[in-house]
Amino acid sequence: MSEEDGNSDNSIGVILSQSITHVGHERVVLARYESLHSSEFPHPSRGNDSFERKMNSTVEHLGGPPEHYLVRDGYTPPLPDQYPEAILREVMSVFERARKSVIRSHMFMTGAVTIVEHPDDLLVDNRQQAVALGKFATEAFWEHAESAYIRLTSYWDRVGQVLDFAFFNIRKFDQNGFNAVMDRVATNAVPMNDQFKSHPSWMHLRAFQNSEKEDGLKWLLSRRNLIIHSLHLHPLPDETNSVFESQFNHLDTAHREKLRPRAAREEVGILTRQLQRAAELFPDFLRVVEFSPSRKVDRFIDGRHLRHD
């Protein structure tokens, strides 16, 4: 490799250096952007001092080990069941990823829209470069928006995994999503408990599950299915011969318009509302779990089952 090639902007060393810088800075920039819009990106634990205590209580209800054992001399605690804690932590991990995806989409929307609407303000050589940069930024936004929708749906399926275990002791989770599990709970568990049937937390989750509004689960599943099976997200033309119109002309006009991809700002607004609903409903989810049969382990280890707390 010649000295000229080594100093080229396209040399392996320069590209690798730029890649490392981009990867290192992306998380920092994302955190700073989040701090500017923190109220738009809620988290179940924010402003909730009892969050960890509630999570630990739910783990114990599902049969996880208590925080402390009281052990009589000569006895040892049983081997703990780590599954309850693992599935609850999985729920939180996927929520975190979904939240990051929404924030990243929001950030790329802001950048893309600014570039497109104010190309002359960019420090580039000419307007043609600014237009090209706006196009690339817009495409990147739509890619991140797709990921955010998929991760939000994945979060709800993790919630379904916990409910399936709580109510039906099912640890294998490869087919039934949140929707199917909620229907099973409604059919098999709710009729057995009048308090459960009328409890606000159950009613909140059930209303979200059946909602076709843009902050409801039915709409979210439809948008996920659109992305996975039919059409990548991008601004759609108004003419009726588009791929979207052709594939979804079996739906009534109102429902079809609900699924149609929107302008970038509107799309981010929908993502943000879905994230907000996920955070708002998390305490309801934990409360619903409490209506499942308790598997709480006795913390008193002395050879006899003296009491359960």
Is the residue at 183 inside a domain? yes
* pLDDT of amino acid 272: 97
Q: What angle do CA 268, 114, 118 make, to 5 degrees?
A: 150
Res 247: pLDDT: 56
Return the pLDDT at 303: 55
Position 30 in a domain: no
Q: What is the DSSP string of 71-86?
A: E-TT--PPPP--HHHH
CA 110, CA 183: separation in Å to the nearest integer?
A: 39
pLDDT, residue 124, reads 63
User: Is 195 part of a structural domain of the chain?
Assistant: yes
41 is a domain residue:
no
The Cα–Cα gap between 279 and 295 comes to 26
Range of the domain at 263: 76-301
pLDDT score of 3:
47
Q: What is the pLDDT of residue 7?
A: 53
Q: Residue 1: what pLDDT? A: 43
The contacts of residue 143 (CB under 8 Å, 6+ apart) are none
Q: What is the pLDDT of residue 46?
A: 77
- Identify whether 83 is part of a domain: yes
Is residue 25 one of the residues assigned to a domain? Answer: no
Residue 134 maps to a domain: yes
- Quote the number of domains for the chain: 1
In a domain, 217, yes or no: yes
CA distance 38 to 31: 10
pLDDT along the chain (309 residues), means of 10: 54 86 86 90 84 92 80 72 93 96 96 84 71 87 95 96 95 80 96 96 98 95 83 63 55 60 90 97 97 82 49
pTM of the model: 0.84
